[in-house]
Homo-oligomer: A and B are copies of this chain.
Amino acid sequence: MKKVQLAKGTRDFLPAQARRRKYIFDVLERSFQRYGFQPLETPALENLDTLMGKYGEEGDQLLFKVLNSGDFTRALGEGGISGKSLRELSLLLCEKGLRYDLTVPLARVVAMNRHEIALPFKRYQIQPVWRADRPQRGRYREFYQCDADVLGSGSLLCEAELVQLYDEAFSELGIPVKIHINHRKVLEGLAQEAGISGRFAEFTVEVDKLEKTGPEAFEQALRSLGLEEAAVRRVLGHLAANDPERIAVNDLARTGAEEILSVKRFLSGTPLKNELVFDPGLARGLSYYTGCIFEVKPVGVQMGSLGGGGRYDELTAIFGLPGVSGVGISFGADRIYDVLTELERFPAQLGGMPRALLAPLSEGALLYAFRLATELRRQGIPVDVYPEVARLKKQFAHAERLEVPYVVILGDDECKAETAQVKDQRTGEQHCIPAAQLAGHLG
């Protein structure tokens, strides 16, 4: 028999992992809801029409395409596959693809339901996406995105809420972070001041790489963009500024800086738990941001950003609905999982874990165990019952693998006396307890 395997770049989540992931998603979902974001779910399968051309040429290649049902060769016509490019062929063979992110589906939903959806529309969405990337450590072909976006308002109150949402969610998760903020206009101002407005895209690419490659490589890159030595020095100086008041090198930069100050003004009445830092070197390489840009980095752990986002305009214009401004943030659930593991910050008892394994030692005790379990469950206490009579050693081994805090041993004596032997798995202590008091003891 051929060895069964997972598809490349995909993962199973066994109970211990699945519970930890649920914990993260639950914290994020509750945060989203506290801030008035509403849930949205979109299908995994989208028409390729909807997806193609939205993520650049590379993105198109990374889309998983789904073979048409029925006679998928018919669309190829007489010529079959000959003389057609891979792109052409794939579009003849496939009409549908898998969701690549949660942003394009959001734009589609708002454009398609424009009369039903009240703007400003605050939505959150926690769903998997698929990318035909080469799998490598920490990069998967199927992974969850956790997004919150506000569509239809240009107010900087939205940015302030999203900064606060980041702050509170990471506090609740127990991960100390720095929230970096910048503004596209600050970067545009710096490029203008250096005289390379025409090469803004290349400039931001270099700014983006600065932290990774270091100042020397950066200086060299700026020189190759045509900058004089003095201008290179000035750019480096500006990028080191940590106060938006001091970056107003021209009107453009001033406009950006003032928006950041407005965001800070909203936040000034109710202090954040984490630091919000102005970071003029934050570019996030994403050409579609038009206003504020965010990124969240963990403090004290070697790990890339745990989330990012920013303001964009005209997102829904690709689907025929112009004039809608939006701002959104994203949480990187896989990295959050890794940081929580490294910091050992996952709660010891996660929601929904059974509090006890009921261990029956005789046929009579099996019926008794079932009745006790029913009563406990009806009182809202999750418990498990070993479903058959088995040696105590075997049942204890099972309890250990389940990581339940208590084992409730039930033999004929307990059955007759309506009691239970309750063993605390952490302390090793064991007590005989009347059945009626079991809920209070385990709960």
Contacts and interface: CB of A to CB of B under 8 A. Distances in A.
Contacts of A33: 351-354, 382
A6 to B, nearest CB: 7
A141 interface: yes
Given A40-B13, A49-B4, A352 B30 contact: yes
A370 B90 contact: no
B15 A123 contact: yes
Interface string A344-370: 000000011110010000000011001
A14 B121 CA distance: 11
Interface in A81-101: 81-82, 86, 89-90, 93-96, 98
The 7 closest A-B pairs by CB, nearest first: A36-B384, A10-B43, A33-B352, A15-B38, A155-B387, A118-B401, A18-B39
Interface stretch (A71-79, A193-201, A435-443): A71-79
Nearest to A386: B120
A423 interface: no
B44 A128 contact: yes
Nearest to A125: B18
A319 interface: yes
Q: Is the interface of A mostly helix, strand, loop or mixed?
A: mixed
A132 B4 contact: no
B49 A72 contact: no
26 contacts: A4-B47, A4-B112, A5-B47, A10-B45, A13-B40, A15-B40, A19-B38, A29-B352, A33-B353, A34-B377, A34-B382, A36-B382, A36-B384, A36-B385, A44-B142, A61-B69, A80-B81, A80-B82, A81-B81, A118-B401, A120-B386, A157-B370, A161-B370, A161-B385, A168-B378, A266-B367
A414 B155 CA distance: 22
Contacts of A142: 43-45
A19 B41 contact: no
A430 interface: no
A416 interface: no
Chain A's interface size range is: 35 or more
B118 A398 contact: yes
A130 interface: yes
Nearest to A375: B270
Which of A34, A50, A116 has the most CB atoms of chain B within a 10 A radius of its CB? Answer: A34
Contacts of A120: 386-387, 398
Contacts of A380: 34
Query: How many monomers of this protein are in the complex?
Result: 2
A155 B366 CA distance: 10
A319 B4 contact: yes
A341 interface: no
Contacts of A61: 69
Nearest to A118: B401
A282 interface: no
A29 B371 CA distance: 22
Contact of A7 (B2, B43, B375, B386): B43
A292 to B, nearest CB: 14
A14 B38 CA distance: 9
Contacts of A367: 265-266, 269
Interface in A21-35: 21-22, 29-30, 33-35
Contact of A45 (B86, B93, B130): B130
Contacts of A62: 69
B270 A371 contact: yes
Given A40-B15, A81-B80, A7 B46 contact: yes
A90 B111 contact: no
A43 B352 contact: no
A99 B35 CA distance: 34
Given A33-B352, A67-B93, A4 B50 contact: yes
A226 interface: no
Given A6-B47, A120-B387, A266-B367, 4 more contacts: A5-B50, A6-B46, A6-B112, A43-B142
Contact of A35 (B12, B18, B72, B377): B377
Nearest to A22: B39
A14 B81 contact: no
Contacts of A108: 4
